[in-house]
Amino acid sequence: MSSELLDRLTEEAKALPEDEKRILALRLLEGTGPVLQEKREDVDESSPDVVYRKREYQWMKEHKDEFAGQWVALDGDHLIAHGSSARKVLEEADKLGAKLPFIAQVDSPDDLPFTGGWL
């Protein structure tokens, strides 16, 4: 993809309303598999946002067998919605009045670990 096209798409996406930006982001992530996140040195571990997300990741760890391969919407350690489509999960969370739900796909125990390269 050319950088001009990517720049144009990025600018058009910036003009979308916030709720449509979230839907676009989820549509782009569907089917990409889990995103690896490095531990960053510059992250303040005491930040409320970091602590908040720890609750979500702990929930996902504790319920990985029950919700393996599904998309979930969480508010802290509270499950708001779940299903096979990120878009439907987001729509359900919005319908239930969730303000900033954490939406992620729960890893399946059958998933192979990402090695950082192509096989």
Domain ranges of the chain: 3-32+47-105
- Per-residue pLDDT band at 49 (split at 50, 70, 90): low
Q: Enter the tokens of residue 47.
A: 């930040």
Check residue 88 and give its pLDDT.
92
Give mean pLDDT, residues 44-59: 70
Output the six-digit token pair for 11. Answer: 């600018």
Q: Which amino acid is at 65?
A: D
Q: Are 94 and 85 in contact (CB under 8 A)?
A: no
Bigger pLDDT: 72 vs 6: 72
Percent of the chain with pLDDT over 70: 70
Q: 57 pLDDT exceeds 80?
A: yes
Average pLDDT, the chain: 78
Kindly report which listed range (27-41, 68-82, 93-107) carries the lowest average pLDDT score.
Answer: 27-41
What is the C-alpha to C-alpha distance for residues 20 and 63, in angstroms, rounded to an integer? 29
8 A C-beta contact, residue 74 and residue 89: no
- Does the reported pTM lie above 0.85? no
pLDDT at 75: 87
Q: Is 72 left (phi over 0), alpha (psi -120 to 50) or beta?
A: beta
Please compute the mean of the pLDDT values over residues 3-16 and round it to a whole number.
86
